[in-house]
Amino acid sequence: MLRLYTHPACLGHDNGPGNPEVAARLTAVLRALDHDRYAALDRVEAPRASREQLLRVHAADHVERMLAAVPEGETRRLDEDTVLSPGSAEAALRAAGAAVAAVDAVLDGGHVRRAFCAVRPPGHHATRESAMGFCLFNNVAVAAAHALAAHGLKRVAIADFDVHHGNGTQDIFWREPRVLFASSHEMPLYPGTGHPDERGEGNILNRPLSAGDGPYLFRELWEGDLLPRLHAFRPQLVLVSAGFDAHQRDPLANLCLGSEDYAWITAKLVELANRHADGRLVSTLEGGYDLAALAASASAHVEALMD
């Protein structure tokens, strides 16, 4: 069974006018999934992440700063892209909490084997010490650390196909060999990290694509390089940073993928989880800034997770 985690509070995070990371992104995804063919989804409200769960990957002063700095009635800009609003803390706690609850659900030996967290703000740019790139807490990193600490796993894989490099996830797990981080992303592009020679303890796999690259090169990169490395790692749990901004319609990048490419990579990651992790896979929403492309791509992703 596929479980869907989300929460209305995730709509309350407001980045202010002109910012592409808007509540309408999540609304578009949820509307796309409000269809008869997704009737079998087990829909659950996301809980809040605890401070203990956040502190596994974030410095204490960062956690306190994010929760204490939320303004009473106006937005507060942390950097050019990242904003705090009155609803931000609750949204960020629910987004990270969704990923933690999803890990618990797929690892408890019950009927849930895969989960999709339809949440915002996204997370993979948030480092141990700071928020950036629309991200306050690193949701997928919180989930991975929870799997290690609370469930005793020895091998957790994170696959990140967002068009922007997950610098925060890389930063957090740079010296953690129990986590294998595999990323495809456009380069050069924000945040400027993700070179192939950034390897951590050998557990960081960065495979950049160039502007204009399309489905053939994307699939070749994953099929010929990243997926074999992931299989060799034999993960006990597969986590996915599911960003859909490599779509050809996305305004923030220059790759040329379509929704069918997201269905393809999702099916490959499900196969990875089935082979090594008893099917256990948790995906959490990252980027995607053209609403129609995001809705179509997330739908294709969820359908592949359901198969």
Whole-angstrom distance, CA of residue 135 vs CA of residue 74? 18
Query: What counts of helices (H) and strands (E) characterise the chain?
Result: 10, 10
- Cis-peptide into 86, omega within 30 deg: no
Residue 106 tokens, joined: 């797929």
111 to 1, 43, 180, 206, 255: CA distances (angstroms): 6, 14, 26, 34, 37
- The neighbour count for residue 198, using CB atoms within 10 Å, is 16
Residue 125 annotated as catalytic = yes
Of 125, 146, 164, 185, the active-site residue reads: 125
Q: Which of 190, 206, 210 is nearest to 198 (CA)?
A: 206
Residue found under tokens 């953690």: 176
Radius of gyration of the chain (CA): 17
Tell me the one-letter amino acid at 282: V
Whole-angstrom distance, CA of residue 116 vs CA of residue 41? 10
Answer yes or no: are the C-beta atoms of 162 and 124 closer than 8 Å: yes
Residue 6 tokens, joined: 């989300």
Which residues, 6+ apart, have CB-to-CB distance to 17 below 8 Å? none
Please identify every residue annotated as catalytic: 125
